[in-house]
Amino acid sequence: MSQREDAVGTYEKWDFAEGTELEKEEQRKPKGALSLERAVVLLYVLLALTFVLFMALTIVNLQRACELSGAGSRVKASALLFSSPVSAAWEVLEQARIRSENSHTTAWHNLSEVQRALDKQLSGELKVIHSRLLNVSQEVENVRWKMTQCKEECGKELSDRLRVLEERDGLEAVLRQLAEVKQEQSHASALLDVALEETRNLSEIICTRCPAGWQQFAKTCYFFSSTTKPWLAAKDFCTNFNSHLAIVNTEQENKFLANHIMDHRVFWLGLTDMHTEGNWKWVDGSILSLSYVFSLIGGFWNSGEPNNVGHQGEDCATIYSSGHWNDATCSNAEPWVCERSC
């Protein structure tokens, strides 16, 4: 207590001394100046107190708002902050928090609905798959049972057959016949090998590589069309297939062509005199040898041909099923024969 009293006494002395100094200072100054200075000081002091009081109230109200928000209170912050700018900001924050909570609630609700729909759809699909698996399992079981039954029946049948064969007295004769059959088979296999070798050697001499739909004669392939074209179009067709209209070189070749022609039909040959009347040439440029043609009995031309009748003339040669030739108008639509090497 003595120390406190000493402190109080010291403070009073200091206050008294300070007051004395102030009085002396005031006595030195004019009275108007003293009043103005006191007013300014008092104003500063009031402003400082107001600011301190405002900050204290703001801090206290913020603490109360936090406590009320943590406890779940919905009282508006504007009432606690006495409609100050800070209370307006707090109200905006509170509204943002409420909107955030509502957004979260809505999002969780939508997510739950989507999950519920997916679960329902997945459950239906799983039921269908499960049903199909049951059907497949049942079918597999039926097949397995049938295979087992077939195995038992087939095994029993084979056993019975073997037993019958073993009990036969003529088993030795059967074995003897089997040995003879095997010997004949070996002999036939040897003959087949010889025939294959001869065929291989023959293939080196005779063409065996004609395209599908072409007929073979010696080392040449022939195509007999099933449609009709004018002579020039038929010539172009053969050229596109790396061939040319048929050129007859021998009587055997002419007979081969005639044998592949149906009755009452004619086919274009690669023979024409369209460039020079009476000068018959093959499509490869070779000249038809009259001495060769007429050295044969009756020749290849039909009786009275070629005669070049009609105002358009007859400048292209055809062949009948009889093997005889005829000159015809080149613009006529007729089937044709193409020829190419193997």
- What gap in Å lies between CA 77 and CA 71, rounded to an integer? 14
Select the more confidently predicted residue: 206 or 171.
171
CA torsion through residues 244, 248, 254, 258, sign:
positive
Going from N- to C-terminal start, the domains of the chain cover 2-70, 215-341
Taking 60 as the threshold, does the pLDDT of residue 98 lie above it? Answer: yes
Candidates 232, 230, 196, 218; CA nearest to 339 is: 218
- What gap in Å lies between CA 194 and CA 295, rounded to an integer? 43
Note the pLDDT of residue 270. 97
Amino acid at 299: G
16-33 pLDDT, tens digit each: 444 555 455 555 545 455
The continuous run of DSSP H or E covering 90 comes out as helix 85-167
Strand 220-224 relative to strand 325-328, pairing: unpaired
* Residues near 324 by beta carbon (within 8 Å), at least 6 away in sequence: 300, 301, 302, 303, 305
Q: Is 224 helix (H, G, I), strand (E, B) or coil?
A: strand
Mean pLDDT, range 257-273, rounded to an integer? 91
For the beta carbon of residue 342, count every other beta carbon within 10 angstroms: 14
CA torsion through residues 267, 270, 273, 274, sign:
positive
How sure is the predictor about 180, in pLDDT bands with cuts at 50, 70 and 90?
A: confident
* Residues near 302 by beta carbon (within 8 Å), at least 6 away in sequence: 320, 324, 325, 326
Candidates 342, 335, 305; CA nearest to 321 is: 335
Query: Which residues are paired to 272 by β-bridges?
Result: 281, 316
214-234 pLDDT, tens digit each: 999 988 999 999 999 999 999
Note the pLDDT of residue 198. 63
Read out DSSP for 3-27? HHHHHHHHHHHHHHHHHHHHHHHHH
How sure is the predictor about 81, in pLDDT bands with cuts at 50, 70 and 90?
A: very low
CATH 3.10.100.10 for the 215-341 domain, yes or no: yes
For residue 211, cis peptide bond before it (omega within 30 degrees of 0)? no
Provide long-range contacts, Cβ within 8 A and 24+ apart, for 306-310: 306/273, 306/280, 308/277
Candidates 286, 288, 291; CA nearest to 325 is: 288
Note the pLDDT of residue 157. 67
Q: Dihedral through CA 214, CA 215, CA 216, CA 219, nearest 10?
A: -40
Candidates 230, 254, 272; CA nearest to 339 is: 254
Please give the structure tokens belonging to residue 99: 């909107």
pTM passes above 0.85:
no
